[in-house]
Amino acid sequence: MKKYIALIASTLFLIPYYILLFSSCTEDIDTSARYVFKEETILGYLQKHDDYSEYVKLLQQVPISPLSGSTVFQLLSARGHYTCFAPTNAAIALFLQDQVEAGLIEEPSWDCNMTDKLRDSLMRVVVHNSIIDGGDVEFYETKDFPQNANGEFGRANMNDIRLSVYRPKDPDSIYINRIYPINLRNRDIPAINGVIHQMEKVIAPREVSLKTILQEQLDGSATGFVVMARMIQACGLMDTLSKLRDEVYEQLYLTGMIEEKTPANGLATMTGGYSYAPQHRKYGFTIFAESDKFWQEAIGKPAEDIMPTDIQAWVEAGNYYPEAVVSENFKSPDNLLYQWTTYHILPFKLSPDRLVFHYNEKGYDYVGSPDRLSIPVMEYYVTMGQRRLLKIFESLESQGVYLNRFPNLDNDRHGTGHELSCDPSRVGSRVMREADEFDKQTALNGYLYEIDAPIAYNEETRNNLARTRIRMDCMSFFPEVMNNDIRRVALSDAPHQWVHFPDDTEYKYIGNLSINEGSTFVYYNAYGLKFGSLCGDEVKCVGRWELVFTLPPVPKRGTYEVRYRILTNSDRGVAQFYFGDRLDGMPAAGIPVNLTLGGVDPITGWIADTGTDDDADAEADKQMRNCGFMKGEESILILKNPGTTARANVNRNIVRRIVTRQTLDPDKTYYLKIKSVLDTETAEFYMDHIEYCPKEIYDNPEHPEDIW
């Protein structure tokens, strides 16, 4: 596995965004002038065409990494799977002219008076941003590009940046990061070791943090979100939003102190294989912001005149956070403005195509028709500041991604699962992920999204959440897996499908999880496989595992069931659950659970649905609940058995265990400890998702809990 470390000079943060100049005026692509040499390497092709002579010179000078003596020129002559976004001489000349206009260099030439450090950095920008190394697996022809608006490639480029794809109304035009057009004629040029796409501009995304993007709003060099930037600054969060990566972990990994590759040790379907440690531990954030236009209309002042005190007064008048303190100590967690602002920020880096995950929801075909949505999918994330839930939602009927949307669903026993309607007060806020200038809202460590309506964790939001069965993929507990492009990345090679995390004695990689010494805790990204897990991923662990999960908060004080979803097989172990709000004194939650048997075990009370006698099926569900179990979900498909849902799975190996039923407080932090009770190193832990179900749902005599 190659390690590319891009050491781009800080002066490059000044490189401007380019003006979008290229457009298409035809739907018929003339490929008669396309150069095609199927038996050439990428380098051989580039060398034979004068249009790339300047690019070839740069390839000869730029090393693969600061630790390598080889150049990228040599890399592209070797075997492999490379996607090369090759800039023409004209594109490189335009890039140099942009540096002149930015004040970085005096003349548009590599020979002008500049420091060697700056010259090397600029050359690396051109070269490292232009190549994606697919290792032994793949390269990207245009047919393989992400289909979603602003969707990102699964693999990062040599500069460790994941590029995105944009298609305007003209179906033939394709842009990288919205502003770098691919030539209409010279694309998908095949080579022995990959594919070439001719670029009209040099790909040079700005390498800035969200702090820089917000500072530009404050400085007046960018517009649209100056009010949000002012709030974040007043709350003292700018430095937090400048964080890029954990340098301690970086050094440990580079010096071999982190176990990079670990034998499978009997993990199911991985016998003889390996799992791989993350190369980095990056930080990430997502900001959802009301626009300046919204604030101008709400407060009646120009955006540049709106101060934090104005926002605080508006929030107070709306009675959004009546329990908060109104003062000018905006940095206090008890302060009204601080609570308003932090609810808009997640410590997760969520790209436009990863706000929610479409995979195996009922009615959806992620292979044949990935653009045709079906029933709702949703994620629940914990915001910054006080720990509060934010719901992210998308369905066929919503026509977009929304925050805190609570529609009416057709979730009867024989329903469709689709949205029937949505009350105006529960529509939520739409995330504007297709904004024309989204590139200006994209940072190395996150994204700034405009939302079309304000969001707050007010009484209405809490009540809506408290009337909802909250189903959370366990990987949504961990910011680290999103910030490091681990969760559900669109790659199927072993280093991206099997990722292990250090145990606590080696390095505490995941903040919300404690892994005991000697356990191998592995994330299984089942991209491309036919899984029955929510979102198509899961976690496993072998060793004498004792794992402690920090759980998300409940929305309101009340009685809840906490449920754990089990997909059983003979490789699993037997687990004792513990639940509580004290790490030093968690009581056991019931008797040990055999993860090998599931519905096959008579103790669960699993009985197949009749499909015709609703009363009998409801009674069977009740009896199963009395045993502390529930069937799988009607909303999730078992892709290995087309058309079969987790509930109707004939193998009976998917059940939900009711871990505990008790009163929970939103201001307390709860933990779930899961410990192996077997005297073996190979019995496997498994986890997919957790549910919080309020008493109002699971014990409602008029409207029993749905099967979805």
Would the pLDDT of 27 be above 80?
Answer: no
What average pLDDT does range 471-491 have in this prediction? 94
> 1-15, 65-79, 226-240, 578-592 — which is least confidently predicted?
1-15
What is the spatial distance between Cα 98 and Cα 8, in angstroms, rounded to a whole number?
A: 17
> At which of 466, 486, 511 does a domain end?
466
> At which of 184, 199, 214 does a domain end?
199
Burial of residue 569, with CB atoms counted within 10 A of its CB: 0-12 exposed, 13-18 middle, 19 or more buried:
middle
What average pLDDT does range 127-135 have in this prediction? 96
Would the pLDDT of 574 be above 70?
Answer: yes
How far out from the chain centre does Cα 706 lie? 29
The pLDDT of residue 35 is: 47
List pLDDT tens digits, range 318-333: 999 999 999 999 999 9
The answer for residues whose C-beta is within 8 angstroms of residue 261's C-beta and 6 or more apart is 274, 275, 276, 277
458 and 489 co-located in one domain: no
Whether residue 241 is contained in a domain is answered as no
Q: How many other C-beta atoms lie within 10 A of the C-beta of residue 31?
A: 12
Whether residue 128 is contained in a domain is answered as yes
Count CA within 13 A, CB hemisphere, residue 500: 26
The pLDDT of residue 598 is: 67
587 and 483 co-located in one domain: yes
What average pLDDT does range 292-310 have in this prediction? 97
Whether residue 592 is contained in a domain is answered as yes
Averaged pLDDT of the chain: 91
> At which of 182, 199, 216 does a domain end?
199
71 and 136 co-located in one domain: yes
114 and 173 co-located in one domain: yes
What is the domain count for the chain? Answer: 3
> Looking at this protein, which amino acid is placed at residue 463?
N
Would the pLDDT of 445 be above 90?
Answer: yes
Tokens 């206009």 sit on residue: 101
Give me the DSSP letters along 169-214. Answer: SSTT--EETTTEEBPSSS-SEEETTEEEEEESS--------HHHHH
What is the spatial distance between Cα 551 and Cα 692, in angstroms, rounded to a whole number?
A: 10
The whole domain housing 458 covers 353-430+454-466
At how many degrees (to 10) do helices 226-234 and 210-219 cross?
110
The pLDDT of residue 527 is: 82
538 and 659 co-located in one domain: yes
Give me the DSSP letters along 529-571. Answer: S---SGGGEEEEEESS-EEEEEPPPPSSSEEEEEEEEEE--TT
The pLDDT of residue 30 is: 36
CATH number of residue 72's parent domain: 2.30.180.10
The pLDDT of residue 519 is: 93
496 and 462 co-located in one domain: no
Q: Is residue 542 within 8 Å of 519, Cβ to Cβ?
A: yes
Would the pLDDT of 391 be above 70?
Answer: yes
Would the pLDDT of 9 be above 50?
Answer: no
Burial of residue 653, with CB atoms counted within 10 A of its CB: 0-12 exposed, 13-18 middle, 19 or more buried:
buried
User: What stretches of 349-440 show up as alpha helix (H) in DSSP?
Assistant: none
**521: nearest Cα among 262, 179, 343:** 262
What is the spatial distance between Cα 466 and Cα 457, in angstroms, rounded to a whole number?
A: 12
- For 431, phi then psi, to 5°, come to -90, 120
Would the pLDDT of 37 be above 70?
Answer: no
What is the distance in angstroms between the CA of the first residue and the CA of the last residue of the chain?
42
The pLDDT of residue 8 is: 31
List pLDDT tens digits, range 582-630: 999 899 999 999 998 866 778 888 999 999 999 999 999 999 999 999 9
28 and 118 co-located in one domain: yes
Residues, the chain = 708
**Cα dist from 202 to 126, 162, 213, 536, 587, whole Å:** 6, 16, 22, 36, 59
**546: nearest Cα among 678, 689, 691:** 678
699: helix, strand or coil: coil
What is the spatial distance between Cα 42 and Cα 84, in angstroms, rounded to a whole number?
A: 8
619 and 581 co-located in one domain: yes
Whether residue 301 is contained in a domain is answered as no
136 and 24 co-located in one domain: yes
List pLDDT tens digits, range 533-566: 888 889 999 999 999 999 999 999 999 999 999 9
Would the pLDDT of 23 be above 60?
Answer: no
15 and 109 co-located in one domain: yes
What is the spatial distance between Cα 595 and Cα 449, in angstroms, rounded to a whole number?
A: 41
The answer for residues whose C-beta is within 8 angstroms of residue 156's C-beta and 6 or more apart is 132, 162, 485
The answer for residues whose C-beta is within 8 angstroms of residue 17's C-beta and 6 or more apart is 179, 206, 439, 440
Whether residue 328 is contained in a domain is answered as no
Whether residue 260 is contained in a domain is answered as no
Whether residue 212 is contained in a domain is answered as no
Tokens 């910011």 sit on residue: 479
The pLDDT of residue 33 is: 40
62 and 193 co-located in one domain: yes
Would the pLDDT of 697 be above 50?
Answer: yes
Q: Is residue 102 within 8 Å of 15, Cβ to Cβ?
A: yes
Query: Residue 128 has which token pair?
Result: 């490292």
514: helix, strand or coil: strand
What is the spatial distance between Cα 545 and Cα 275, in angstroms, rounded to a whole number?
A: 17
User: What stretches of 323-452 show up as alpha helix (H) in DSSP?
Assistant: 336-342
Pairing verdict, β 285-290 and 446-451: parallel
Higher pLDDT, 639 or 693: 693
pLDDT-based confidence at 38, cuts 50/70/90?
low
Share of the chain above pLDDT 70, in %: 94
460 and 512 co-located in one domain: no
The pLDDT of residue 599 is: 66
Whether residue 348 is contained in a domain is answered as no
What average pLDDT does range 18-47 have in this prediction? 54
pLDDT-based confidence at 181, cuts 50/70/90?
very high
List pLDDT tens digits, range 187-208: 999 999 999 999 999 999 999 9
pLDDT-based confidence at 29, cuts 50/70/90?
very low
> 53-62, 351-360, 647-656, 682-691 — which is least confidently predicted?
647-656
Q: Is residue 552 within 8 Å of 684, Cβ to Cβ?
A: no
Q: What is the pTM of this model?
A: 0.90
What is the spatial distance between Cα 635 and Cα 570, in angstroms, rounded to a whole number?
A: 25
CATH number of residue 562's parent domain: 2.60.120.260
**126: nearest Cα among 85, 165, 163, 74:** 85
Higher pLDDT, 269 or 34: 269
